[in-house]
Chains A and B, each alone.
Chain A
Amino acid sequence: MGPQLRLQPRTEQKVVQFLMYFMTSLAVLVLVFILVVILKNGLPQLSLEFLTRNPADMGREGGILSTIVATIFLTFIALLVATPLGVGTAIYLTEYTVESRITKVIRFGAECLAGIPSIIFGLFGFILFVNKLKFGWSILSGGLTLAFMVLPTIIRTSEEAIKAVPQAYRLVSFSLGSTRWQTVTRVVLPSAIPGIVTGVILSIGRSIGETAAVIFTAGSALRMPTSLFSSSRTMSVHFYILAKEGVSMPKAYGTAAVLVISILVINIATYYLMEKYIRRKS
C-alpha cells in the first residue's frame, strides 16, 4: 500500500479552521467593499441641493428630489395595501383556524409568492394594472405591484410574531369571557406589534430597492409626480438608468449612496427592534 495522505485530526482541524477563517473574511470583505465603495464615492456628492432639487438634463444636473418623492409614494401605497392583507391573513392562519388543507394551501401559496422573481411581478403588473385596468405607467400601478411583491414577507413575519405570543395570554383573556376577536385585538396584537412592524419595515426596504418590478409599472418619467396616475421614476430606477446608460457617474454614486443609506438605516432599525423584542420575550 502506498503512503496515504492523511493528516492528524488535530492538524486537519487547524488547516480547516484557517481555511474557514480565510473564506469568511473573504465573504465579509467583499460585502463590506461594496458598501465602502458606494459611500466613499457617493457621500461627497450629497448635499442639501442634491436632495432638494429635481433632476435636470436627464439626470446629468440637479438633484434627485422627484425620485425620492416617487419612491416614498410608491412604498406608501404598497404598504397601505399589503399590510392589512398580510396581517389579516396571518391572524386568520394563527388564531381563527386549525391546521387544515386550507391553511396548507394558503401557506404554500405565500411561500411560492415569496420566491417569484421581481421581473415576473413587473410583467404581471404591466399587463394587469398598466394595460387591462388602464392605470398606465403610474404611481398606482407601481405601488400595487410592489404590494403584491412584499405581501409574503408581511404574512410570514406577522405569523411568526403572533405565534410567539404566549398561549397563557389567550387563555386568561378567554377565561375572562372575551370573544376571540376581543382577545386578538386587545391581547394578541398588542404583544405581537413589534414583530409585525419589523415585517413592515423590511418590506419598506425591499420596496425602496426594487427596480425590475417598478420600471415597467411606474415608468421612468423624470417629473415630480402630481397624482396617483403620473408616471414617475423611483430612486433605484433612476440609479439604474444613470449607471447603465452612463449618463453621469457622480450622480449615479450620489443616488446609490442615498439608496444604500436609507436601506441601511431601515434595516438597522429593524434589527434593533427585533433584538429588543427578543430580549423582552425571553
Chain B
Amino acid sequence: MTKLEKNDRLVRLSLLMIALSAISVLAIITVFIFEQGTPIMFRYGLKSFLLGQDWYPSEKSFGLLPMIVGSIMVTFGALIIGVPLGLASAIFLTEFSHRRLTRILKPIIELLAGIPSVVYGFIGLMFLVPFIRDKFGGPGLSVLAASVILGIMILPTIISIAIDSIRAVPDSYREGSIALGATRWQTVRMVILPAARSGIIAGIILGMGRAIGETMAVIMVAGNAADIPGSLLAPVRTLTSNIALEMAYASGEHREALFATGVILFVIIMILNTIANVTAARQRKK
C-alpha cells in the first residue's frame, strides 16, 4: 500500500468518525431527555401523567392532559388556517400567476420564513390579542390567538414545500390534460394535485411539527392557564410552554416533570418526522 492510499484510508476513517459523532448528537439528546424525564413517569404511573387533569407541581400533582389537549388544539387550529392559505398560495404561484409575480412573491415568502418566532408572538400580542378581546370577548390570550399566529408561522414552510412538489410534476402531465380540453383548474385538481400529493402532505406534516414544537410565540399569545380550554376564546397552555414557563425556577421532581413533558413532546415529534420522511421518500421514488 502506498503512502497516499494509506492517507486516504485515514481520511475515510476520520470522516466516518465525524459523521457518526454528528449523528450521535441525536442519540445523546434522546438519552438525556429520557434519562431525566422517564423515571418520574414510572414512579407516578404513566396514566396519571398522560390522563391527569391537574398540574400543581407544588402538590406533586403532575397531570399533563391539559397541555396535551392544548398542544393538539392549537396545532389543529394552525393547520385549519395555514393549510388552505398555504396550498392556495402555492397553487396560485405555480399554476395561475404571472411568472414575474411569482419571481417576486416566492423570495418574499421565503425571506419571511426567517423572521424569529418571538417577533410573530410579539405582533400577535400587540394586534391580534386586543382584536380578539374587543371583537369576540374573553381575555384575548386564547386558543384562537395561538392558532392564528401558528397558522401564519407555518405558512412559509407549507408554501415552499408545496411549490417544490407541484413544480416537480412533469410538464407533460399538464400538456396532456390541457390537450384533452381540461381547464387549468381541472388540470390542477385532477392531475397535478394527485401527482404532487405525497410532497404536499410531507410539507403539511413538517408544518405541523413546527406548530407543535413552537414555544416563544405561543407563550406570548396563549394565556398559559394549565386547564383544558373550554372554548376557542379560553387561554391554553401547550407542552412546549409548560417547559419554558417553569424551567427557570423548577427543581427536584418539578424539574423532572418538565423533562417528562419534554419526553412526550419528543415522542410526538419523532412520530410526525417519521411519517413525513416516509411520505417524502414515496414522492421521490415516483
Contact = CB atoms under 8 A, between A and B. Distances in A.
Interface in A213-256: 215-216, 236, 239-240, 243-244, 252, 256
Given A111-B277, A120-B262, A148-B25, A236 B152 contact: no
**Most chain B beta-carbon contacts within 10 A, residue among A23, A27, A93, A118:** A27
B25 A263 contact: no
Interface string B178-206: 00001111100000000000000000001
Contacts of A108: 277
Interface stretch (B28-36, B46-54, B166-174): B28-36
A118 B269 CA distance: 12
A47 B145 CA distance: 33
B213 A119 contact: yes
A127 B263 CA distance: 14
B85 A243 contact: no
Contacts of A212: 117, 215-216, 240, 244
A72 interface: no
A179 B7 contact: yes
Contacts of B96: 17, 20-21
B216 A24 contact: no
Given A89-B18, A124-B32, A148-B25, A34 B120 contact: yes
B112 interface: yes
Nearest to B25: A148
B21 A85 contact: yes
B5 interface: yes
Interface in B108-130: 108-112, 114-123, 125-127
Contact of B186 (A9, A97, A120): A9
B4 A12 contact: no
A169 interface: no
Interface stretch (B8-16, B61-69, B226-234): B8-16
Contacts of A120: 29, 33, 213, 262, 265-266, 269
Most A CB contacts (10 A, CB to CB) among B121, B212, B216 go to: B216
Given A21-B96, A85-B21, A123-B247, A35 B118 contact: no
B273 A112 contact: yes
Interface string A5-32: 0000110110011011101101110111
A259 interface: yes
B105 interface: yes
A71 to B, nearest CB: 11
Contact of B8 (A20, A27, A179): A179
Closest 8 CB pairs of A and B: A117-B213, A209-B116, A88-B18, A23-B88, A92-B15, A109-B23, A20-B92, A115-B273
Interface of B: 4-5, 7-8, 11-12, 14-16, 18-23, 25-29, 32-33, 36, 84-86, 88-89, 91-93, 96-97, 105, 107-112, 114-123, 125-127, 152, 155-156, 159, 182-186, 206, 209, 212-216, 219-220, 240, 243-244, 247-248, 258-259, 262, 265-266, 269-270, 272-274, 276-277
Interface of A: 9-10, 12-13, 16-17, 19-21, 23-24, 26-28, 30-35, 37-38, 84-86, 88-89, 91-93, 96-97, 102, 105-106, 108-113, 115-124, 126-128, 148, 151, 155, 179-181, 205-206, 208-212, 215-216, 236, 239-240, 243-244, 252, 256, 259-260, 263-264, 266-268, 271
